[in-house]
Structure formats: structure tokens, C-alpha cells
């Protein structure tokens, strides 16, 4: 019996992992939990002890198989990420088992979907935040099936996956037990075919909406500078020459925008930071400003910047004292230059845990061995508390998500609510080598395009750069580890999707549902009533 449960556990771990490892395997997620549900049912029926080892193993294997690539930057970091994620997932499944004792029929499975998505909703906002394995991300490369994410967001996919798994499991279980299955079959058909049908109709009809929209030529640069051995060591002048050579080769009279990667300008032994109080003092800033003006193009690139603040006390928790009464903040920034050379700056808001930020309540000295050195001030960046966009002289508004920010669904929609009618993503995915990490990150951008119906120009220093349309299709993409540029057109859009307008209503609904179910289960436990 123990061996059977172990096999079922491992099968679920494999099925949960495959959509994150193989493109177009999203459909597998719709039955990935069935072996684990079966193992749980058997363990409960046979009153087997220590079943927590099984579901903990399932989530542990899932996390290792899909996020192993963090190891290339930090062994300690991947251990921490896997353990923290596994621990939280295991607690959720333990609550589900408690629901199974307290509730009749299908309520426990609905409760499991609610508490899981409630956790995913909050996990994107906590200081310790790692929503990489949000269940709805399973369909990131299967875009034809998830056009309805424009209504619900990615967490709608998470609910869908758990409910469909639960319905199939109940159909199979009742069939084996010779019980009636018609209500589960009807529910399955409704909940499976309506979203899928809507999605395919929406996908193939969406091109008609694009006909009346304006398209702008965008050049995406991929300088391919090794982040470990060159990026933060080589002279900035050489890197500038490499990037601008690509730009000169790519641009035409029709080019509207050039996009360069995250932290392209980073203080090297021969260059100081761009100080925002007086940016023209920096050679690279002046060079890129001149390039934008002379060629009549808008230009977005990433840089590590700082500002200077005179104050007797520290202005904030990440302030660094550099002289008596003089402080500075350090930012991972996106710099925008318009065709006249005027600039705007956006500071990255979702900072990478242990690389760009350390939780306030944690002891930095104790945890310094976990910090990931991705260049710059380790764990000491300052973030921007609100989304701002860049506006061109011809009134086109461009949102720029910096790296990790493109993983956060509800966060990302704020760019569009603040007026963005096209999006850019700047990143540097070379830290993870040629693994599934940079490919997963690319695919998640397709979900953001569907949720917001905004085309995306994605520049990755050493990852995969891409042009993504409003349906989530990757229209053009670069090769891994190749210095190159790609050029395509981004269609502008001013319309607001239900998800952008109303936000994560699925996650919020699941919060209230979870509270009601937890209170109901608690009451049956305290007063010894029968299952409800």
C-alpha cells in the first residue's frame, strides 16, 4: 500500500512539472492532481499514518524539477526557495485534508481551490514572495486555451485547474464505486468546454479588432554580455559601443522605439553610477541622449542609478549614508529618452528577494550567505511604490516592467490602468544559464499580454528577446546567447480588459470563500457536529 501511494505521489509531481518544462503541455495540468487526490483518498480510507510525507514529497519534487535553475546563481537560494514553497503548499494540502473530514461531497475540493488561490493572491504581495509556480502559469505556453485570462487573470486558471482535476477524480471514483456520476459529468463539460470554446473563438477573432489600431516599429537589442564574467567587470565604453552598433544597424526612418536590457549601464571599474540629481554628468547618459536626439527615436534602457538627499536622519530604511547629512538611494531603473533627448526614470518596484532586497525583519548578517550577487548593492535597493509610465512626444504611453515585475499579474495591470497602450519588459536572464528558467520567464510575458491586451517588446541581455502580440503569441524571438537585434511592430491599444479594470476578483473572492469555509470547519470541530 505504501509503495502504491509513493508511486501516485511521484506521478503527480511529474505531471505538475511537465507544463513548466515543455511548451504546449498545459493540458496536462488538468489531471496532474488526480494521482495525489487518489493517494489521499486511499490514505484516509485505510487510516494510514504519516501521509504528510507523501504530499510534502510531491510538492518538493515539483519545486525542484521546475526551479532547480536558481542553483546556477546560488545553492543556498534554491534550497531556501524550494523549502519555503514546499512548506506552504504542504500546509494548504493539510487544510484540504481537514476539510475532507468536516465537509460532505465536493465542498472540500472547492475549499482546496479557494485556499490555494487565496494563498497565491497573497503570495504575490508578501515580503517573501515567489509566485513563480502559480498554477495558472501551467498554460503560459498554451495561449490559445487561455484567452479568457483577460477576464479573470492568471488566478482564474489556478481555480480552473484545481476544480477540473477534482471533477475528473470524482467521476473516476464514483464510476469505480458504481455511484451516480451525471452531475459531475455535466459540471465538467460546462466548466471545461465553455472557457476553452470562448478562448479559441476569441483567439481567432481577435485579429479583427487589431485592424483599426496603430502599429509602431520597435527595435529590441540583445547585446549578450556575460553577466558573470564580463557585464560588471568590462569597461562600460566597450559595452556601449556594442549596444549602439546593434542599434545603428537596426534602425530605419520608421523606427519608433529602441529597447535595451535591464541594468545595461551598471557601475564598472571605469564608470560611476548615473546620479539622478545631475544625470548629464554621466558619460553613458550623455551618449545615449545624443543618440536618441540625432536619430529621432525613443530609447529605453536599464541602469543602476542613485540619487542624493540632504538630511540629518536616514530618509528611509534603505538609505545609505555617504557623508555627514548626505544620503543616497540605489535603484534598478528603466531610463526613457524621447526624441528630443528629454528623460524620465522608473524604479523597479518588485525587487528580487536576497539579490536586490532583504526582508526588513530578517537579520542581514545572519542571512548574508543567502544573498545572490547579481551586480550592484546586494539586498539594498530602494523600490518605487507606484507604477509610472513613459510618454512620447506624440502622446503614446509606454509601460516598462523590469525583469521580475513581469511575473506579478495584479501588479502588472497597474501600468495599463495608468495609461500604457503598449508595454516593454527589460530583463537579464543569463544568471540561470541555458535552463528552463529564462524560457519560463519569457512564457509568462505571454500571459501578461493576454490579461492586459497590450503588445510587448521584451529585451533580454542574455535570455530570449521577443515581440509578443496582444493574443500572447511570440511573433519574433531571438536565439539564446546570441548578440543580435529583432525588429517588429507593436500594435497600440487603449481598451481596458475586465481583468485590468476590476483586478484580481478571483483571488479576492477566494479570500472570502476561504474564511467562510474555515469558520464552518472550525464550528463543526468545536461543537462536534456531523459533516456539512
pLDDT digits over 193-247, tens only? 999 999 999 999 987 566 667 899 999 999 999 887 777 767 888 899 999 999 9
pLDDT range class, residue 127, cuts 50, 70, 90: confident
pLDDT range class, residue 389, cuts 50, 70, 90: very high
Determine the average pLDDT of the residues in 10-30: 97
For residue 360, pLDDT over 60 is answered with: no
Fold of the domain built from segment(s) 215-302+336-492: Nitrilase/N-carbamoyl-D-aminoacid amidohydrolase (3.60.110)
Share of the chain above pLDDT 70, in %: 92
Residues 388, 384: Cα–Cα separation, whole Å: 9
For residue 66, pLDDT over 80 is answered with: yes
For residue 74, pLDDT over 90 is answered with: no
Is residue 303 within 8 Å of residue 335, measured between CB atoms? yes
Q: Please list the residues that pair with 74 across neighbouring strands.
A: none
For residue 93, pLDDT over 50 is answered with: yes
Residues 294, 520: Cα–Cα separation, whole Å: 68
Share of the chain above pLDDT 90, in %: 74
Q: What is the pTM of this model?
A: 0.93
Angstrom distances, CA of residue 438 to CA of 236, 409, 435: 25, 18, 7
For residue 504, pLDDT over 50 is answered with: yes
Per-residue pLDDT, 423 = 98
Q: Which residues contact 272 (CB under 8 A, 6 or more apart)?
A: 282
For residue 466, pLDDT over 70 is answered with: yes
What average pLDDT is seen over the chain?
A: 90
pLDDT digits over 407-465, tens only? 999 999 999 999 999 999 999 988 888 899 999 999 999 999 999 999 999 999 988 99
172-194 b/e (C-beta count within 10 Å ≥ 16 → b) = bbbeeeeeebeebbebbeeebee
pLDDT range class, residue 337, cuts 50, 70, 90: very high
Is residue 72 within 8 Å of residue 110, measured between CB atoms? no
pLDDT range class, residue 75, cuts 50, 70, 90: confident
Phi and psi torsions of 306, nearest 5°: -145, 160
Amino acid at each position: 500500500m505504501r509503495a502504491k501511494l509513493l508511486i501516485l505521489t511521484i506521478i503527480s509531481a511529474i505531471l505538475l512539472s511537465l507544463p513548466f518544462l515543455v511548451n504546449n503541455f498545459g493540458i496536462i495540468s488538468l489531471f496532474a492532481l488526480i494521482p495525489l487526490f487518489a493517494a489521499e483518498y486511499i490514505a484516509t480510507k485505510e487510516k494510514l499514518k504519516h501521509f504528510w510525507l507523501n504530499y510534502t514529497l510531491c510538492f518538493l519534487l515539483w519545486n525542484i524539477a521546475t526551479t532547480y535553475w536558481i542553483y546556477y546563481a546560488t545553492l543556498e537560494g534554491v534550497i531556501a526557495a524550494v523549502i519555503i514553497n514546499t512548506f506552504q503548499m504542504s500546509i494548504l494540502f493539510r487544510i484540504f485534508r481537514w476539510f475532507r473530514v468536516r465537509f460532505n461531497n465536493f465542498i472540500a475540493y472547492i475549499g482546496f481551490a479557494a485556499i490555494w488561490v487565496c494563498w497565491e493572491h497573497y503570495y504575490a504581495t508578501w515580503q517573501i514572495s515567489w509566485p513563480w509556480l502559480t498554477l495558472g502559469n501551467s498554460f503560459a505556453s498554451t495561449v490559445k486555451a487561455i484567452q479568457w485570462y483577460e477576464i479573470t487573470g492568471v488566478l482564474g486558471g489556478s481555480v480552473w485547474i484545481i476544480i477540473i482535476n477534482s471533477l475528473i477524480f470524482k467521476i473516476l471514483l464514483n464510476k469505480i464505486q458504481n455511484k451516480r456520476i451525471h452531475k459531475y459529468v455535466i459540471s465538467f463539460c460546462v466548466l471545461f468546454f465553455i472557457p476553452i470554446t470562448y478562448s479559441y473563438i476569441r483567439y481567432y477573432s481577435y485579429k479583427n479588432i487589431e485592424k483599426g489600431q496603430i502599429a509602431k516599429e520597435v527595435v529590441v537589442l540583445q547585446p549578450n554580455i556575460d553577466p558573470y564574467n564580463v557585464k560588471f567587470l568590462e569597461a562600460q565604453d566597450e559595452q556601449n559601443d556594442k549596444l549602439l552598433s546593434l542599434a545603428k544597424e537596426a534602425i530605419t526612418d520608421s523606427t519608433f522605439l529602441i529597447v535595451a536590457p535591464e541594468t545595461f549601464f551598471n557601475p564598472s571599474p571605469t564608470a560611476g553610477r548615473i546620479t539622478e540629481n545631475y544625470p548629464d554628468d554621466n558619460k553613458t547618459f550623455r551618449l545615449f541622449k545624443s543618440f536618441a536626439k540625432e536619430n529621432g527615436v525613443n530609447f529605453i534602457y536599464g541602469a543602476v542609478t542613485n540619487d542624493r538627499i540632504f538630511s540629518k536622519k536616514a530618509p528611509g530604511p534603505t538609505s545609505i549614508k555617504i557623508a555627514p547629512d548626505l544620503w543616497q538611494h540605489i535603484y534598478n531603473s528603466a531610463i526613457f529618452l524621447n526624441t528630443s533627448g528629454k528623460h524620465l526614470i522608473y524604479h523597479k518596484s518588485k525587487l528580487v528577494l536576497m539579490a536586490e532586497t532583504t526582508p526588513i525583519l530578517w537579520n542581514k548578517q545572519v542571512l548574508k550567505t543567502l544573498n545572490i550577487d547579481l551586480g550592484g548593492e546586494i539586498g539594498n535597493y530602494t523600490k518605487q511604490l507606484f507604477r509610472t509610465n513613459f510618454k512620447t512626444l506624440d502622446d503614446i504611453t509606454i509601460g516598462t516592467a523590469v525583469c521580475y515585475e513581469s511575473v506579478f499579474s495584479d501588479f502588472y495591470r497597474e501600468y495599463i490602468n495608468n495609461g500604457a497602450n503598449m508595454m516593454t519588459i527589460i530583463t537579464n536572464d543569463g544568471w540561470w544559464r541555458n535552463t528552463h528558467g529564462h524560457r519560463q520567464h519569457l512564457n509568462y510575458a505571454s500571459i501578461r499580454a493576454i490579461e492586459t491586451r497590450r503588445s510587448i517588446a521584451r529585451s533580454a541581455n542574455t535570455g530570449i528577446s521577443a515581440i509578443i502580440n496582444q493574443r500572447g503569441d511570440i511573433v519574433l524571438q531571438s536565439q539564446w546567447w546570441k548578440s543580435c537585434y529583432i525588429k517588429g511592430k507593436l500594435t497600440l491599444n487603449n481598451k481596458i480588459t475586465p481583468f485590468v479594470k476590476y483586478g484580481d476578483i478571483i483571488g479576492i473572492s477566494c479570500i472570502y470563500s476561504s474564511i467562510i469555509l474555515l469558520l464552518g470547519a472550525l464550528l463543526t470541530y468545536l461543537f462536534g457536529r456531523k459533516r456539512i
